[in-house]
Amino acid sequence: MLLIDLQAEATRQLTICNACRYCEGYCAVFPALEIRRDLERGDLVYLANLCHDCRACYYACMYAPPHEFGVNVPKVLSAVREETYSRYSWPRFAAKIFARGALWTILACALAAVVIASGIALFAPDHRLFGVVLASGSFYEFVPYLTLVSVFLALGVFVLVATIAGALSFWRDTSSPLRDLLNLRALRQASRDALKLRYMRGGGDGCFYPSDQPSPHRRIAHSLVFYGFFLDLAATATAALMQDVWRVMPPYPLVSVPVVLGVTGGVMLVLGTSSLIWLKERSDTVPSSAGMRLKDYALLTSLDLVAITGFLILGLRTTSLLGVTLAVHLASVGVLFLTMPYGKFVHFGYRYLALVQNALESHQS
Amino acid sequence: MPPQVTADVAGAPPPWRVLSTTSPIELRRFAAQPWDVVVVGSGNAALVAAITARKTAQRVLVLERAPRHLRGGNSRHTRNIRCAHESGDDFTPGAYSVDELCHDLQVVGGAESPALARFAAAESRTIPQWMADHGVRWQPALSGTLNLSRTNRFFLGGGTALINHYVRTAESAGVVVAYGAAVSDMLLHDDRTVERVALDTLDGRIGISTRSVVVAAGGFEANHDWLRRYWGAAADNFLVRGTPFNDGSALALLISLGAGVVGSPRGFHAIAVDARAPRFDGGIATRLDSVPFSIVVDRDGRRFADEGSDIWPRRYASWGRLIADQSGQVAYSVYDSQAAKHFMPSMFPAHTGNTVAAVADEAQLDGARLEATVTEFNDHVDPDGHFDPSALDACTTLGLIPPKSNWALRIETPPFHILPLRPGITFTYMGVAVNEHAQVLDRHGEPFTNLYAAGEVMSGNILSKGYLAGFGLTIGAVFGRIAGQEAARHAAH
């Protein structure tokens, strides 16, 4: 859909919502809509990113298709969100390359894994891709410490810069002064709403996935992914501390802070991403946009790959398959990092900012 | 997975898939064994009856003639219910006694049967708890409806969500719901007892045996032919706010079986809706809120009624009928950019122009005539009036006929706007006579043995003129519950 058409269509549907208002009790989107009489593009972007896609409004709507009014708020807002992701990505051209579906993600991982594996075979000491590293050694016998750290540090900085660039232009377009981002009260409220996934309660009983009946599945699965991801980040951070501050070199024993955090986070990630994929597979596709589905699957697959290959490393670290597994794992982490600023991953930033904006608005009124 | 309701499936699916109706084969299977209770309709009253009946009856079948996505009749479009309560709570702050509810009924026009009205008001006290126990969720009164917050409870998500909760509860209790199942006849034994209901399907007529029947299938407001009998050609210009399936076929069937009739055939509730609304099913979003902040002219550009006579919600109830009485059943709400901010935005954009003549042209009205009307109105606005959109402000016209007795502001700040209005019928009042057991009565007041009615099809026993927001659902829930109980009890004998 052309952007102009998308904006017109979203405005058409939300104008009907604003004349109806039955969904006011479900989430923050509808009360936020009601205080806006004319919808500018920035308003649409804000409302779209405030939407948590719980579908409560769709199943409660007497104007949902096949009604001639064709009101399908989850779908049109998800199309606007999708447009947001590419519009605010930095650099823009990279979005065209990296914003792809799950299949592309898997292929990219495979390709990257081959490159890394070849690198190991070419440059590792003894060219031993299939060598066995016993307790004494570490991954650094395959990939030198400096290479590993500098590549992923560079990727990390890139993700950070791209994310901040996106967030700033998002905030500018949703037309709030920059200093409002420092409003502690709003930040606290938004953080509470985000951490609890408040708007995945669908007005009480949960999101309407996979059928037209509310259930807590999606909220639980999303929480597993969210907190699993942070546990894995924490695992990486503590591993870095142990290695670079306390000079304890990996591999770490099973009962150690990084491994326990990593395993817990990994289990949560695998469970969470797999159940989100499972839910998505079984859900009605009418209240969703095709492009967003692609992006959803891409991110879920990417996270799933990272977590699963992480476990493979743990399981295979004393075998001759470690080198290959490591290559695959590093590839999947690299692809996740590279696609982060262009795919579904960015939703967390925009949604958080929308929640901040919403907290600001509700404090004002 | 719910059945897909759109046709975007590969190949050519059978019609009951596209329309999400129950297949004739399945309907025939339903006919193989007798049912304890058959409920006709799937709105609030019908589903309350079915859920209640299932508590004691084994086999309960709901026959909905609409496809699945249009199930729930007019209840799909509702949003609140008016029930008496001794004390306030999170959703309805403040008490609302049975006496006050009866008084409110009296104020809007009085009950056809005061005894049944009082009975419904008293029974209403237990309805919110019953609904909550059967899956319904509440929300605080919607914005713009604060005047209802003490008396009415709002369903979270509105009426369609209400119906979804009910169907979920009913189906998990073992009630069977069939869609696209239109009851065309009932076969009586000894003139008083229904033995079978007949369905006309693509695959011929199917007879379903049952021990009792609850009819909760709405009024006849969607049947323009029927309306034409009482309204003549004007009926063709009435827009129907709710389901196109309320053509009154069940009501007509009951009357043909000898049921007593209550309520005036011309009785209906209608409000002003946007003239560009669809002929059916436009619901709440097509309602226009502009009347008190504008002047309303007929198609000749002349005012015909006091736009500022009353505050919400009674002004809604009167304007449908006022417009129905104008030539062409159309009227135009004219206002300026100052007034526009005082009412809820409309779904369709207003005609707009920088002069009154220009906007009249847009709306295909006589510009000179409308300018004269606006000038005359402006000249009579009391210059000392104090405008207050939230109350009857006595900001009035002086010496104008008809007057505008509140919110009379000069129409002078461009751009000017016009919204075209038509009568939008919500429901009709005429129905069948019932007793306190929800039994349908014949013309002599004698009950049928196993035939019950609930909802709009019998609400004329209680409310046959005037309108009390949310009370139609109260009648439906109260009589649905009684009909379900009584029908199940009869089936057990």
In angstroms, the CA B229 to CA B351 distance is: 34
Question: Is the Cβ pair B346, A19 closer than 8 Å?
Answer: yes
Mean pLDDT of A31-44: 91
3-state secondary structure B372-424: HHHHHHHHHECCCCCCCCCCCCCCCECCCCCCCCCCCCCCCCCCEEEEEEEEE
Residue range B242-291, pLDDT digits in tens = 999 999 999 999 999 999 999 999 999 999 999 999 999 999 999 998 99
Instruction: Residue window 71-130, chain A: list those with CB within 8 Å of chain B.
Output: none
Question: Is the Cβ pair B2, A212 closer than 8 Å?
Answer: yes
3-state SS assignment for residue A37: coil
What rounded mean pLDDT belongs to chain B?
91
Among A15, A23, A211, the residue with its CB nearest the CB of B345 is A15
Question: Is the Cβ pair B164, A20 closer than 8 Å?
Answer: no
Distances (CA, A) of A179 to A168, A175, A176: 12, 12, 8
Q: Is A8's Cβ below 8 Å from some Cβ in B?
A: no
A50 closest CA partner among A229, A169, A170 = A170
Q: Is A64's Cβ below 8 Å from some Cβ in B?
A: yes
pLDDT value of position B389: 86
Q: Are A302 and A344 in contact (CB under 8 A)?
A: no
pLDDT value of position B473: 97
Diameter of chain B by CA atoms? Answer: 76
Question: For testing the chain A interface, which of B347, B419, B426 should be mutated: the one with the most A CBs within 10 Å?
Answer: B347
Share of chain A above pLDDT 70, in %: 96
Read off the pLDDT band of B144 (50, 70, 90): low
pLDDT at A214 over 60: yes
Question: Is the Cβ pair B284, A20 closer than 8 Å?
Answer: yes
Classified by CATH at the fold level, domain B269-425 comes out as Flavocytochrome C3; Chain A, domain 1 (3.90.700)
Least CA distance to A61: which residue of chain B? Answer: B160
User: Which chain B residues have a beta carbon less than 8 Å from that of A57?
Assistant: 157
Among B4, B157, B346, the residue with its CB nearest the CB of A23 is B157
User: Which chain B residues have a beta carbon less than 8 Å from that of A37?
Assistant: 341, 345
* Token pair listed for A131: 């060598």
Read off the pLDDT band of A2 (50, 70, 90): low
A194 Cβ neighbours under 8 A, 6+ residues apart = A348, A351, A352, A355
Question: For testing the chain A interface, which of B70, B163, B284, B342 should be mutated: the one with the most A CBs within 10 Å?
Answer: B284
B142 closest CA partner among B94, B78, B86 = B78
The nearest CA of chain B is from the CA of A9 a distance in Å of 13
Least CA distance to A66: which residue of chain B? Answer: B6
Q: Is A143's Cβ below 8 Å from some Cβ in B?
A: no
Among B140, B168, B285, the residue with its CB nearest the CB of A63 is B285
Mean pLDDT of B3-20: 46
Read off the pLDDT band of A12 (50, 70, 90): very high
User: Which chain A residues have a beta carbon less than 8 Å from that of B1?
Assistant: 210-211, 282, 284
What rounded mean pLDDT belongs to chain A?
90
A177 closest CA partner among A356, A362, A363 = A356
Question: For testing the chain B interface, which of A55, A62, A63, A75 should be mutated: the one with the most B CBs within 10 Å?
Answer: A62
pLDDT at B85 over 90: yes
Q: Are B121 and B98 in contact (CB under 8 A)?
A: yes
Q: Poorest-confidence range of A151-155, B146-150, B453-457?
A: B146-150
User: Which chain B residues have a beta carbon less than 8 Å from that of A24?
Assistant: 139, 142-143
B358, burial (CB in 10 Å: exposed 0-12, middle 13-18, buried 19+): middle
pLDDT at B14 over 70: no
User: Which chain A residues have a beta carbon less than 8 Å from that of B79?
Assistant: 22
Q: Is B1's Cβ below 8 Å from some Cβ in A?
A: yes
Q: Is A70's Cβ below 8 Å from some Cβ in B?
A: no
Read off the pLDDT band of B314 (50, 70, 90): low
pLDDT value of position A92: 83
Least CA distance to B8: which residue of chain A? Answer: A286
Q: How large is the ipTM?
A: 0.92
Tell me the Cα Rg of chain A.
22
pLDDT at A136 over 70: no
pLDDT at A108 over 60: yes
pLDDT value of position B366: 96
pLDDT at A1 over 90: no
pLDDT value of position B305: 94
Residue range A42-101, pLDDT digits in tens = 999 999 999 999 999 999 999 999 999 999 999 999 999 999 998 898 888 888 877 788
pLDDT at B10 over 50: no
Q: Is B242's Cβ below 8 Å from some Cβ in A?
A: no
Residue range B340-374, pLDDT digits in tens = 988 888 899 999 999 999 999 999 999 999 999 99
pLDDT value of position B18: 54
Question: Phi and psi at residue B480, in whole multiples of 5°?
Answer: -60, -45
Share of chain A above pLDDT 90, in %: 66
User: Half-sphere exposure (CA, 13 Å, Cβ side) for B192?
Assistant: 9
Question: Is the Cβ pair B158, A23 closer than 8 Å?
Answer: yes
Residue range A183-195, pLDDT digits in tens = 999 999 999 999 9
Q: Is A279's Cβ below 8 Å from some Cβ in B?
A: no
Domain with CATH 3.90.700.10 in chain B: 269-425
Q: Is A196's Cβ below 8 Å from some Cβ in B?
A: no
User: Which chain A residues have a beta carbon less than 8 Å from that of B168?
Assistant: 213
Among B157, B159, B341, the residue with its CB nearest the CB of A26 is B157
pLDDT value of position B402: 94
pLDDT value of position B287: 92
pLDDT value of position A135: 52
Which residue type occupies A357? Q
**DSSP result, B305-370:** S-TTS--TTHHHHHHHHHHHTSGGG-EEEEEETTGGGGSPPPSSPPEEESSHHHHHHHTT--HHHH
The nearest CA of chain A is from the CA of B168 a distance in Å of 8
Mean pLDDT of B173-182: 95
Residue range A77-92, pLDDT digits in tens = 999 999 999 889 888 8
Q: Is B68's Cβ below 8 Å from some Cβ in A?
A: no
Q: Is B137's Cβ below 8 Å from some Cβ in A?
A: yes
Least CA distance to B349: which residue of chain A? Answer: A15
Question: Is the Cβ pair A60, B160 closer than 8 Å?
Answer: yes
A166, burial (CB in 10 Å: exposed 0-12, middle 13-18, buried 19+): buried
The nearest CA of chain A is from the CA of B10 a distance in Å of 15
Is B15-222+244-264+429-492 a CATH 3.50.50.60 domain?
A: yes
pLDDT value of position B225: 96
Q: Is A14's Cβ below 8 Å from some Cβ in B?
A: no
Question: Is the Cβ pair A62, B77 closer than 8 Å?
Answer: yes
So where are chain A's domains? 3-87, 92-351
Diameter of chain A by CA atoms? Answer: 72
Q: Is B77's Cβ below 8 Å from some Cβ in A?
A: yes
Share of chain B above pLDDT 90, in %: 80
Q: Is A56's Cβ below 8 Å from some Cβ in B?
A: yes
Is A92-351 a CATH 1.20.950 domain?
A: yes
B76 closest CA partner among A60, A71, A68, A65 = A60
Question: Is the Cβ pair A24, B283 closer than 8 Å?
Answer: no
pLDDT value of position B4: 35
Residue range A241-268, pLDDT digits in tens = 998 888 888 778 889 999 999 999 999 9
User: Which chain A residues have a beta carbon less than 8 Å from that of B352?
Assistant: none
- Distance from the first to the final alpha carbon of chain A: 35
The nearest CA of chain A is from the CA of B64 a distance in Å of 17
User: Which chain A residues have a beta carbon less than 8 Å from that of B164?
Assistant: 59-60, 212
Domain with CATH 3.50.50.60 in chain B: 15-222+244-264+429-492
Question: For testing the chain A interface, which of B18, B76, B78, B156 should be mutated: the one with the most A CBs within 10 Å?
Answer: B156
Q: Are B60 and B37 in contact (CB under 8 A)?
A: yes
* Token pair listed for A342: 């262009």
Q: Which residue has the higher pLDDT, A251 or A38?
A: A38
* Length of chain A measured in residues: 365
Among B6, B168, B283, the residue with its CB nearest the CB of A62 is B283
In angstroms, the CA B268 to CA B240 distance is: 11
Read off the pLDDT band of B5 (50, 70, 90): very low
pLDDT value of position B315: 64
In angstroms, the CA B359 to CA B418 distance is: 7
What is this structure's pTM?
0.92
The nearest CA of chain A is from the CA of B205 a distance in Å of 28
Least CA distance to B138: which residue of chain A? Answer: A25
The nearest CA of chain B is from the CA of A58 a distance in Å of 10
Question: Phi and psi at residue B27, in whole multiples of 5°?
Answer: -60, -40
* Length of chain B measured in residues: 493
pLDDT value of position A134: 57
pLDDT value of position B19: 62
